[in-house]
Amino acid sequence: MPSLASITENLARAETQFLAAADAIPAYQWKTCPVEGRWSAGELVCHLIMVERAIIRNADKSLHHPPKPLPFLKRFHLPMAIVEARLIPRKTPIPLDPSLVCEKEDMLAQLREVRERTRIFMQETSGKDLKKYNMPHPFLGTLNLREWFQLIASHQIRHTKQMKEIAATLPKNVTTLHK
C-alpha cells in the first residue's frame, strides 16, 4: 500500500497532467459537448470537483466515529489500475449538477482549491491510522481512507484521458489566408 507521501506525489502529478490536458481546451469551447451524450470539459471538471468534495466530506464523517472492523473478504477490492485504464466505461453514481458548470478559469481555480483542501485534510489526519477506516466504493469494493486518497489521483488520471479525448474531438477553427 502506498505511503501518504507517495499518494501526495500521485495527487500532484495527476493534477499537473490534468491541468495540462485542460489547457488544450479553448475557453470558448469549455461548455461544448464534443459528441452527443458526452460531457463537455466544464462538465468533466464539475464531476471531478463534486467527487473529490464528496470523498473528503465522507472521509471526515467516518473519522468522527470509531473504526469498524472489516470482514476479511471485504478487504479485497479491484485494483486502482482499472480506474486509471479507462477500459470499462462507468456511469457516475453522483449526478452532475449543471448549475455548477461555469467559465474555464473559475472552474480550474475551484478544482485547485478542492485539491488544496484534500492536501490539508491529509495533513490533518496524518496521525491517524487511516487503514482502519473504510468506506464502500460503488464499483471497486470497500476501500480504506488511504486507498480513497489514492483513488482521487487515479480518478483524475482516468479523466485526464477523457479530457484529451474531448480536446481531440472538439471542432477546430480553421483560418485561411486571403490575398
* pLDDT(145) > 60: yes
Distances (CA, A) of 68 to 64, 65, 96, 130: 12, 9, 31, 12
CA distance 4 to 26: 35
Which residue ranges form the domains of the chain, and what is each CATH number?
A: 4-31+40-169 (1.20.120)
Q: Is the pLDDT of residue 35 over 60?
A: yes
Q: What is the pLDDT of residues 74-95, one digit of tens each?
A: 777 777 777 888 777 778 888 8
**To 5 degrees, how large is the angle CA 19–CA 20–CA 26?**
90
Segment 3-17, tens digit of pLDDT? 889 999 999 999 999
Q: What is the pLDDT of residue 68?
A: 85
Going by C-beta distance under 8 Å and a sequence separation of 6 or more, which residues neighbour residue 96? 39, 43, 46, 47, 50
DSSP structural state of residue 144: E
> Which ranges of 24-144 would DSSP assign to H, the alpha helix?
41-63, 80-85, 104-124
The neighbouring-strand residues paired with 142 are: 136
pLDDT single digits (tens) 154-171: 999 999 999 999 999 998
Higher pLDDT, 1 or 118: 118
**Mean pLDDT across 94-118:** 96
Average pLDDT rounded to a whole number, residues 112-134: 95
The pLDDT assigned to 72 comes to 67
Percentage of the chain lying above the pLDDT 90 cut: 71
Considering only CA atoms, which of 172, 155, 177 is closest in space to residue 45? 155
φ and ψ at residue 93, rounded to 5 degrees: -80, -10
Largest CA distance in the chain: 76
